[in-house]
Structure 1
């Protein structure tokens, strides 16, 4: 199912969006606003996975495209999110060991779009993103993905570490990209696997890294110490593909 709009402004429009079942990623409400309509909106938001932020009027004015926000702006997902279960089912139906991509703190929509595009070509069964400190399925992500968003499912979870634990129980191994790991060519990356990629600045968070079974280092010979997150993901994904193909 496709959602065209991304920013929804005004009390009635936002309430209607929630009630019609649209996926709302983020909700911005004027700080201190507690009247009836705002309470109804907040109540609806709490039923789902919406991130609610109370902000000053200046911030709302900045975000507003119409200038008529009435103290509330919602960011709707441009596309529907999937469930992690669906990804595992898809792998099973194809007779392939699951190959999932998990993203820790990827906030740039162009990066997520590029990752989606590569994930689709590398045969990944899906992408998992956290609810907080991450970009959602925005229109920019959709455009950058070059159509891949229609084929590669994306799930949004409250807690990435907890999701990893659940997937481990289902037989997945996890590998993350980090400079202090073992060179990726020396690792056995076959079988059911989750590839964890962090942001360029901070890399994979400590808690998530501790949950990984392998830490893979991409050999680098240049003068700077990192690769763009989507490029790092592409390199590691295709090492996984290479190992899968050379049984």
Structure 2
């Protein structure tokens, strides 16, 4: 099917079969692979009514395009991108991540996983082409693509102006920004991060209400974009905890799951 994309790796393929079976056109499992994960994937495909087949390692290598597939791949119908405006049409606290000219699938997948982990309002990717949601992005996202709304816009600067009209503050991650520990992040935030090579574009910078930085040790030039997104997301979510009904089970013995109370400050 035109526009279809391949995802690879057992976690990504299994998540697609279980969460979005209507998008899965076919599942491939490597010839001769008969371990527990292979059986689990084939059983899930059968249960969901998804077509599956055995494939040679050569065919899997071809569709993986250099990404480690571990013997599993699936062809998916094009992912339905969200309307950018819908990310802003939400009540109450919301954090949307804006990625300026990001083309690296690994980083995009990691940011998607972060957005899912912290229940962010979505991701908007700016650039001339739609974001690469298959391949490396899908594998690194580890099954969380279906949990996060991802939109595409031509200009993050223009989207930032629309976000302001919707009551969002627009902050950019910049090395010379105000240190994160000195900033009170707003309840409605569009956080803009630039591609590691070029940073934020001039039009995006012009739309910012302020800039924020993560202090790092001398001699280290910068953090990976996805790592920085994770730190900012944690800081925002700590300030605005998720509703108790949506919270995951505590992992550290604290009844609030480690987020703190709604009135707490970083």
Structure 1 residues 134 and 224: CA distance shift in structure 2, 3 A: farther
Structure 2: 5+ residue runs without aligned partners?
7-61, 64-75, 242-261
Over aligned residue pairs, what C-alpha RMSD do you find? 2.5
Query: Offset at 1:154?
Result: 0.5
Aligned pairs for 1:99-138 (under 5 A) are 99-132=95-128, 135-138=131-134
**2:205 equivalent to 1:187:** no
Query: Offset at 1:148?
Result: 1.2
Match of 2:137 in 1: 141
Aligned pairs for 1:1-247 (under 5 A) are 4-5=4-5, 78-89=78-89, 91-92=90-91, 96-132=92-128, 135-245=131-241, 246-247=262-263
Structure 1: 5+ residue runs without aligned partners?
7-63, 66-75
Contact kept, 8 Å, 2:102 with 2:126, in 1: the verdict is no
- 1-structure distance, mates of 2:5, 2:235: 37
What TM-score do you get using the length of structure 1 for normalisation?
A: 0.64
Point out 4+ residue stretches in structure 1 off by more than 4 angstroms: none
What TM-score do you get using the length of structure 2 for normalisation?
A: 0.60
Contact kept, 8 Å, 1:157 with 1:163, in 2: the verdict is yes
Match of 1:14 in 2: none
Secondary structure at the aligned position of 2:5 is classed as coil
Query: Offset at 1:222?
Result: 4.1
- 2-structure distance, mates of 1:77, 1:234: 29
- 1-structure distance, mates of 2:139, 2:178: 35
Match of 2:32 in 1: none
Query: Offset at 1:223?
Result: 1.6
Between the two proteins, the alignment pairs up a number of residues equal to 176
- 2-structure distance, mates of 1:204, 1:101: 13
Secondary structure at the aligned position of 2:110 is classed as helix
- 1-structure distance, mates of 2:198, 2:238: 28
- 2-structure distance, mates of 1:217, 1:177: 6
Match of 1:16 in 2: none
- 2-structure distance, mates of 1:111, 1:144: 8
Query: Offset at 1:182?
Result: 0.7
Query: Offset at 1:134?
Result: 7.0
1:169-213 CA distance string (max 9 Å, x none) = 111001111111111111121211111111122222222122111
Query: Offset at 1:78?
Result: 4.2
Contact kept, 8 Å, 2:93 with 2:240, in 1: the verdict is no
Secondary structure at the aligned position of 1:82 is classed as coil
Secondary structure at the aligned position of 1:177 is classed as strand
Contact kept, 8 Å, 2:5 with 2:134, in 1: the verdict is no
Secondary structure at the aligned position of 2:157 is classed as helix
Query: Bigger shift: 117-126 or 135-144?
Result: 135-144
